[in-house]
């Protein structure tokens, strides 16, 4: 399989705090790769360096062989990497369609990168396709502020898809959703991947990770502590410690592992 993306010893410090420490991994084209880890592990910080929102303090990030660690976010988006955010963000005073057009105009169908002289028809088409995929076409004229939580989450997804990425970064795609919505979002991600888009996702809910990801990486205090297929990683002793804590582990030992 061909490598589409690579982090090579990526580091991000905020003053004295090393939020991400020499993290290395690569993605094969067409896979779904999950990044997990406790709160504050550095997951979102890693996404911020990949998407150009903040500059990595060390290491290299390569996309299709090209180094991107010093590029601006709009340039990275135009190359084919788009993302969603952990907090559901939208331009609330704008319509659903206008929100998604921001994605397609800044993305690969947007043309020159100077969207002031009107939208290319390809950009409008990409926006409408993304809205249809995310089942929001009938709400294209609504204000973003009037959408429900799940609809806002889908709006953010549609905006990222409208950029026509070949690599999509999802920061906690099912965060804040109920069980039914979570299942629906899982289906959306699966369909996106089946359409040929490589997915890198941050996710706390292991059921979702297991349902979607073929490989995963665990971050703890900014460092990789395990990487591999979910079935293996979730049995790793350090990972169990990080997630379940020492006490639960002791109880498991006492009860011979029979506890839920």
Ligand X SMILES: Nc1ncnc2c1ncn2[C@@H]1O[C@H](COP(=O)(O)OP(=O)(O)OP(=O)(O)O)[C@@H](O)[C@H]1O
CA distance 107 to 81: 9
- 14 binds ligand X per the rule CB under 6 A: yes
Q: Which stretch binds Mg ion (CB under 5 A): 11-19, 36-44, 120-128, 231-239?
A: 36-44
* Residue 69 or 166 with smaller CB distance to ligand X: 69
Shortest Å distance, C-beta 41 to ligand X: 4
- 49 binds Mg ion per the rule CB under 5 A: no
- 86 binds ligand X per the rule CB under 6 A: yes
Q: Dihedral (C-alpha) 102, 152, 49, 243: value to the nearest 10 degrees?
A: -170
Can you tell me which of 44, 69, 84, 224 binds Mg ion, judged by CB under 5 A? Answer: 44
Q: What are phi and psi of 20, to 5 degrees?
A: -135, 125
* Residue 30 or 176 with smaller CB distance to Mg ion: 176
Would you state the structure tokens that stand for residue 92, as one six-digit string? 């609330």
Helix (H, G, I), strand (E, B) or coil at 19: strand
- 45 binds ligand X per the rule CB under 6 A: yes
* Residue 43 or 78 with smaller CB distance to ligand X: 43
Query: What are the angstrom distances between the C-alpha of 93 and each of 98, 153, 165, 235, 239?
Result: 10, 16, 26, 47, 43
- 41 binds ligand X per the rule CB under 6 A: yes
Interface positions with ligand X (CB under 6 A)? 14, 17, 19, 37, 39-45, 86
């Amino acid at each position: 399989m061909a490598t589409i993306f690579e982090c090579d010893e990526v580091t991000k410090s905020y003053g004295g705090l090393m939020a991400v420490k020499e993290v290395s991994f690569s993605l094969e084209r067409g896979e779904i790769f999950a990044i997990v880890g406790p709160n504050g592990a550095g997951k979102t910080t890693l996404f911020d360096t990949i998407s150009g929102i903040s500059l990595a303090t060390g290491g290299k990030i390569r996309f299709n062989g090209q180094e991107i660690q010093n590029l601006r976010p709009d340039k990275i988006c135009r190359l084919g990497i788009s993302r969603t955010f952990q907090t559901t963000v939208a331009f609330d005073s704008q319509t659903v369609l206008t929100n998604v057009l921001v994605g397609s105009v800044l993305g690969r169908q947007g043309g020159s990168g100077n969207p002031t002289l009107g939208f290319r028809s390809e950009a409008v088409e990409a926006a409408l396709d993304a809205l249809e995929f995310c089942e929001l076409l009938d709400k294209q004229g609504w204000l973003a502020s009037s959408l429900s939580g799940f609809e806002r989450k889908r709006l953010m997804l549609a905006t990222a898809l409208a950029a026509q990425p070949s690599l999509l970064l999802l920061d906690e795609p099912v965060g804040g959703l109920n069980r039914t919505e979570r299942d629906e979002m899982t289906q959306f991600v699966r369909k996106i991947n089946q359409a040929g888009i490589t997915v890198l996702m941050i996710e706390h809910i292991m059921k979702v990770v297991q349902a979607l990801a073929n490989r995963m990486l665990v971050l703890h205090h900014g460092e990789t502590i395990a990487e591999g297929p979910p079935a293996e990683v979730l049995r790793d002793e350090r990972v169990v410690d990080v997630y379940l804590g020492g006490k639960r582990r002791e109880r498991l030992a006492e009860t011979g592992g029979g506890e839920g």
